[in-house]
Structure 1
């Protein structure tokens, strides 16, 4: 092959028509992502984009809407237990899953029913 993959640029998650304000409340206010400006040519499509560090999440409007209850983004986190405690304090239900060897992880659902995974690998990645 004469090409290489560098990194995942962003993940798009669907929301129902008119869901932008709920998305901002959840992703920005509760999860702590920063809303980023969409390019002018894409604004007409609705939706909203967010970023935290190198993690980019785009919320796209889908009509008719159906939540992604199985497919999901997985976000690697440092200090996962602190995030879990913070989300619980925010009234967000955390679903713990211990079936991935070498990782601590849990899931949450966004306000639209989309599943999001947060995980922390339990080994030192530099070894």
Structure 2
């Protein structure tokens, strides 16, 4: 084991998650992340806006959707997004004809998987409530 006493840093949180999208898919992203999930689109800095893509924020989560020329949807890799009232989110996704795949395998959490309109896998989860 390495002595790390001289290294003083601490992780303080996650700024954003980036998912890849194909060129020209920004409107599908706006429909999913904005219209369906209710997140707010952020204005990208001009130097980054020139690259395409879009950014969204909601409830302390920021998602950056970046253009990838040879796009392939992430079918295994995924963000794990904590949610308050997971059942309400599942109902909203189902009302928008989005797939919801429940999976009770994660300890102390309810969770399901879904996919954005481009096929990227997303995991939504809520910790079990403790006490009464």
* Band the TM-score falls in, shorter-chain normalisation: over 0.9
**Displaced runs of 4+ in structure 1, greater than 4 A?**
none
Q: How many angstroms does 1:123 deviate by?
A: 3.6
Q: Which residue of 2 aligns with 1:70?
A: 76
1:94 shift after superposition: 0.4
Among 47, 50, 53, the alignment partner of 1:44 is: 50
Q: Deviations over 1:56-85 (max 9, x none)?
A: 000000011011111101110111111111
Can you give the 5+ residue segments of structure 2 that lack an aligned partner in the other structure?
1-6
TM-score, scaled to structure 2: 0.91
Q: CA deviation at 1:101?
A: 1.7
Structure 1 stretches of 5 or more lacking a match? none
Shift of 1:90: 1.4
* Alpha-carbon distance in 2 for matches of 1:47, 1:64: 14
> Which of these residues, 108, 113, 121, is aligned with residue 114 of structure 2?
108
Q: Does 1:55 align with 2:61?
A: yes
1:22 aligned to 2:28?
yes
Q: Give the drift of 1:120.
A: 0.3
Scaled by the length of structure 1, the TM-score of the pair is 0.94
Equivalent of 1:119 in 119, 125, 128:
125
Number of equivalenced pairs: 124
Give deviations 1:2-44, integer Å, cap 9, x for gaps. 1111000000000001010111011100111110000111011
